[in-house]
Amino acid sequence: MMAVLQRVSSAQVEVQDQVTGAIGAGLLVLLCAERGDTADCCERLLAKILKLRIFSDTAGKMNHSVQDMDGQGTAGGLLVVSQFTLAADVSGGNRPSFTAAAAPQDGWRLYDYFVSQAKRVHPVVQTGEFGADMRVSLVNDGPVTIPLRILP
């Protein structure tokens, strides 16, 4: 399972000109399930995301996680967007292959599980719509963009 995290001042996702999810400061999580991924992969990736210290303290050092962005117990938002194209393989030419991505039904099940677990343990979780044509807008803060991968 893999994700690309973007530290944001704000982010939102729209489907058919309707906002399906929006956050203020926090993390935009572009999430991709790969073949062979399991619920355990979701749990380990979520744990890593929630504890990753990429928000600045008063000295400007990256010392706070999204769970405690300001060091005062204030949690930032998570905007979780499915992104199967993270599994793209372009080694064979110029047209990407997505064979490493989980099959759609498995991808949806793992995405749904990841989101439900995130909502269980984090106070601010918004989402896109799995499989939809989405428009994602964000203000990248830093910029800070971090790729993560959890292997089964």
Alpha-carbon span 73 to 64, nearest angstrom:
10
- Comparing CA positions, the residue from 25, 19, 2 lying closest to residue 136 is 19
Instruction: Give the active site residue among 6, 67, 84, 127.
Output: 84
Q: State yes or no: is 117 an active-site residue.
A: no
- Comparing CA positions, the residue from 149, 144, 12 lying closest to residue 87 is 149
Q: State yes or no: is 84 an active-site residue.
A: yes
Instruction: Give the active site residue among 74, 85, 99, 145.
Output: 85
Instruction: Give the active site residue among 67, 83, 126, 127.
Output: 83
143 preceded by a cis bond (ω within 30 of 0): yes
- Comparing CA positions, the residue from 61, 31, 1, 17 lying closest to residue 126 is 31
Q: State yes or no: is 83 an active-site residue.
A: yes
Say if residues 44 and 151 touch (Cβ distance below 8 Å).
no
Alpha-carbon span 31 to 63, nearest angstrom:
24
Active-site positions read 83-85
